[in-house]
């Protein structure tokens, strides 16, 4: 008999979407990290991972899904339990690398404890964009040239575990998503002088890094992304089909139409 699913929830709309699709899931939050989940949420400390593992096993959990936005949390070593003390050296080494290195280590640790790690896209139907999706007006030839340039940049950086997003206008790279995230990138682009765009609006391309484990930290867009793209004066977005999630899909697609942008998805 299959065991239970636990949602390890951080901030944002994704944990809410998963909870709606998986009504029997156990909801886990973390101390100091806000979440929007309704009902009973069992809150744990990152420093007490042994307690978390024991609680999940006692509740019959055999599957977990990581969901929501989380910056690397501050940890209090004096509060570590025995399990966290044993894990700390591995995690500290992983933290010296990029996000993928750290998240891969987290997945490995949970699997060692006997939990299958699921991706949100495996639990919520229709969460990713389908190939050929087109909302709004079709991108121009200039837009498509910028998409190709942005894709080349992302793929060149992918082995370095840097960025899931890039903005290009008239062949010029206006910004790359780094640890500060999408909102920071698009604010930076919005402040770029017009002469650097060479009279091109530009496009935002969002894609998963090559080799990225999509069970955790899959790229996401939502209504806030669309508002930021519009504020940055871009023509639209291209996202990677099947490997980028659309949160709050109806409102996101409606926002595209209202802003006069385009959104298209392709297997890149």
What's the average model confidence in pLDDT over 210-239?
92
Q: What is the dihedral of CA 148, 154, 155, 160, to 10 degrees?
A: 170
Q: What average pLDDT does the structure give for the chain?
A: 91
Q: At what angle do helices 82-95 and 49-58 cross, to 10 degrees?
A: 110
pLDDT, greater one: 216 or 230: 230
Contact by Cβ (8 Å): 220, 240: no
SS3 128: strand
Give the H or E element holding residue 66.
Answer: strand 61-67
User: With 80 as the cut, is the pLDDT of residue 192 above it?
Assistant: yes
User: With 60 as the cut, is the pLDDT of residue 63 above it?
Assistant: yes
Nearest Cα to 6, choosing from 48, 42, 51? Answer: 42
pLDDT of 101 reads 78
User: With 50 as the cut, is the pLDDT of residue 52 above it?
Assistant: yes
pLDDT of 185 reads 95
- All structural domains of the chain: 4-123 (3.40.50.20), 134-266 (3.40.140.80)
* Gap between the Cα atoms of 155 and 125, Å rounded: 28
Contact by Cβ (8 Å): 227, 262: no
What's the average model confidence in pLDDT over 249-266?
95
User: With 80 as the cut, is the pLDDT of residue 74 above it?
Assistant: no
For residue 71, what pLDDT band results from cuts at 50, 70 and 90? Answer: low
Question: pLDDT per residue over 143-176, tens digit each?
Answer: 999 999 999 999 999 888 787 999 999 999 999 9
For residue 1, what pLDDT band results from cuts at 50, 70 and 90? Answer: very low
pLDDT of 242 reads 93
Question: pLDDT per residue over 2-44, tens digit each?
Answer: 789 999 998 888 999 999 999 999 999 998 888 888 888 999 9
Question: pLDDT per residue over 79-107, tens digit each?
Answer: 999 999 999 999 888 877 767 778 889 99
Contact by Cβ (8 Å): 154, 243: no
Contact by Cβ (8 Å): 11, 70: yes
């Amino acid at each position: 008999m299959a065991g239970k699913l636990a949602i390890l929830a951080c901030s944002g709309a994704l944990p809410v979407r998963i909870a709606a699709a998986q009504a029997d899931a156990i909801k886990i939050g973390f101390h100091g990290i806000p979440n929007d989940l309704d009902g009973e949420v069992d809150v744990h400390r990152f420093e007490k991972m042994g307690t978390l593992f024991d609680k999940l096993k006692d509740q019959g959990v055999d599957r977990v899904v990581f969901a929501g936005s989380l910056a690397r949390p501050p940890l209090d070593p004096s509060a570590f339990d025995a399990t966290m003390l044993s894990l700390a050296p591995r995690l500290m080494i992983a933290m010296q690398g990029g996000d993928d290195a750290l998240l891969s280590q987290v997945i490995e640790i949970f699997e060692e404890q006997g939990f299958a790690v699921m991706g949100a896209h495996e639990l919520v139907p229709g969460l990713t964009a389908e190939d050929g999706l087109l909302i709004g007006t079709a991108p121009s030839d200039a837009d498509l040239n910028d998409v190709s340039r942005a894709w080349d940049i992302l793929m060149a950086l992918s082995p370095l575990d840097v960025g899931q997003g890039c903005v290009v206008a008239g062949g010029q790279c206006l910004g790359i998503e780094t640890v500060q995230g999408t909102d920071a990138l698009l604010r930076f682009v919005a402040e770029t002088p017009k002469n650097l765009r060479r009279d091109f609006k530009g496009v935002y391309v969002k894609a998963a890094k090559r080799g990225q484990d999509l069970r955790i930290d899959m790229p996401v867009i939502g209504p806030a992304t669309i508002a930021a793209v519009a504020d940055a004066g871009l023509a639209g977005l291209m996202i990677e089909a099947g490997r980028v999630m659309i949160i709050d899909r109806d409102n996101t697609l409606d926002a595209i139409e209202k802003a006069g942008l385009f959104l298209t998805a392709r297997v890149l």
